[in-house]
Structure 1
Amino acid sequence: MTAEREPAIRCVGGIAHDSNGRLLLVRRGNPPGEGLWSLPGGRVEHGESDETAIVRELLEETGLSVTVGALIGTVTRPAPRGRYEIHDYACQVRSGVLRAGDDASDACWADAAILATLPLVEMLHDTLKAWDQLPRS
């Protein structure tokens, strides 16, 4: 079975920048990408909308409550059985205190200098650059 015919696992991610233009990132605590930095997010649960999943995932992984905005883009990554179809949305932080939780082992606001030092999940930097979503500071 080819990757295109294998089941798609719907996932979401949140792209948030703070008032200084820094990008919200989490270090993954579990596979895939364990130990690498990525956008916060995860699987959409049965019966959940993308918006509800993003709000839940960001709160669980970062302690932050967000308002979900426009779809920025979609990427596909291989999964053990099928493929992850990840829909990344713009998010605005409403409240909360940044802290790592759930399956994130760390969380941070990254400026361009910090981002350049972090081990990122595959293609994250190039994708954010193509979408004009890199840190603005």
Structure 2
Amino acid sequence: MKSLIARLWRSIGGSLQWRILWIFHAKFMVGVTGIVRDEDGRVLLLRHRLWPEGRQWGLPTGYAIKGETFQDTVVREVREETGLAVRPGELVQLKSGYRLRVEVAYEAEFVSGTVKIDSLEILEAKWFAASDLPEGLLESHRRLIAGKGE
């Protein structure tokens, strides 16, 4: 029986195989976070308008778009939320186990630009020394900044 199933699977070809896999497997959103640092080692934090009161400070974060690399997501989200250009660096976290979401975090280096916030999503953007992080910063982001991940 297994041999028959294997032969059938191989015979249907790649495109149909992908469609079948898509139907029967879980779908996830991918949240991508950028740990953006400047030349002095300060980290870029945003006060997010749509996050819960008292926990609004966090790193630039957004969801990957279909067909986009996660590194490109970091670049796009930082540009959309702050107007800044960044260069993605090392992958520092890949975490699953959420119901419908996977979390990815990359280090990122500030390249150029002046902060121009997207006032729909962001209330303010500031650079902080790792030793002087604001109250209301998400604990998971505090750990990412410290290099401890989750």
In the superposition, the TM-score normalised over structure 1's length comes to 0.75
- 1:30 aligns with 50
Which one has more relative contact order, counting CA pairs under 8 Å at least 6 apart? 1
Contact conserved, 1:13 with 1:88, CA < 8 A, in 2?
A: yes
**CA shift at 1:126, angstroms?**
3.1
Sequence identity of aligned pairs in percent?
Answer: 30
> Counterpart of 2:77 in structure 1: which amino acid?
E
Amino acid across the alignment from 1:14: G
Residue 19 of structure 1: how far off its partner (Å): 1.9
1:107 to 125, 128, 142: 125
Structure with the largest fraction of helix: 2
Q: 1:112 to 1:67 in 2, by over 3 A?
A: closer
Task: Check whether the contact 1:72–1:131 (CA below 8 A) recurs between aligned residues.
Answer: no
Give the equivalent residue in structure 2 for 1:48: 68
Question: How many residue pairs end up in the alignment?
Answer: 123
Equivalents in 2 of 1:103, 1:6: separation in Å? 29
| Equivalent residues of 2:35, 2:144 under 8 A apart | no
> Gaps spanning 5+ residues in structure 2: where?
1-24
Q: Distance in 1 between matches of 2:85 and 2:34?
A: 11
Q: TM-score w.r.t. structure 2 length?
A: 0.69
Q: Deviations over 1:44-91 (max 9, x none)?
A: 01111112211110001111111111101134586xxx3432211111
Determine helix, strand or coil for the equivalent of 2:132: helix
